[in-house]
Structure 1
């Protein structure tokens, strides 16, 4: 039997069809719709505390290939990413956002949804992409296509990936590693995760291309705690109570 090829189409939904090398389609395995809210950050409420110090750190590292924010649930990772995204937009950068879920735990789903997010900010990719098995050749081909697409864009692009801890497929980590290793200077990836992803980051760290914020940096400082209390409990709370 001829080898089976997988094809995905990105157009607000993605299709995963099975066919042979002869081009004769056998069947369509499934069609998956992706909610548009997955490509937008949560709204920043008027009482949300601005993480001024952390945003200043990210601003200093705006050039970095990767900004990695790690911490347990409730540490404000998503809120920080949303605030940083807002700043990037105001600075004129192209910004793509992707909120992951358990649905993107495997390689094909992750790559399809990532390309969909980036197409929303102008990434040009073939309307039909060949997804081979998640082997080195297939990963190299997808990374090359993405990098070429980024190089065609006229501005820096920031790709925000929230809840990366949902990823549990080794090929996804290999894809991201290859992407970070080959990323052009105009591509900046921002990842939030409850756990540190299994990525080799020493080269990025040594070349000052990595911004890192972990659970030791994410808790509120005194000024932020005071702001949170005043915004949510009223100004009647005395500072001595903090």
Structure 2
């Protein structure tokens, strides 16, 4: 059973050879018990990703509350008023989360609702796309980015693939390359992805300390149904 579990996880991590992948697909199609195990592992991977994002948000919120709950260190009687005012100013500044904290609190990879790899895909082009999204779903962003790039060489107009490559690059810390992809998508004004690209561009701006640019982008999202709440909340924290 342990070997079967490893075999399944290697599939979702994109670590199987072509022959092993063929054997996997054949077993999935013919063995109901194996198919059930595969589906359970796939659901588990999705759950881990979702839990990880929630845990990160909770950790940030707890950290923020702890800082706010720290009592202000009142000065001893007799200290000059000028020193008191200076300490009050420093205390308020210290309670604000820095730009990297805000980036970590609000960043999360975009859920893949675009493409579900099927075991009927065939051909080199379909294989690259399938592997790219399979690796993306497994949070293997380094290899996913490589497969997205190979796929985009032959299908440069596939903006969904371009968007998910940008997420991979962003997660890997290649912010400038990610911005290039996101900017291209944002200008196209396509449903879902253009606003999402604008949101991620604002987060990159915050991470890079370009706060005025981030505010400008977030301001454009204040009327967005999907990003209105988050963008307004983040703008308040940047002021």
Query: What TM-score do you get using the length of structure 1 for normalisation?
Result: 0.32
Larger radius of gyration: 2
Query: What TM-score do you get using the length of structure 2 for normalisation?
Result: 0.33
Q: Which has the higher contact order (CA 8 A, sep 6+)?
A: 1
- Richer in strand (by share): 1
- Richer in helix (by share): 2
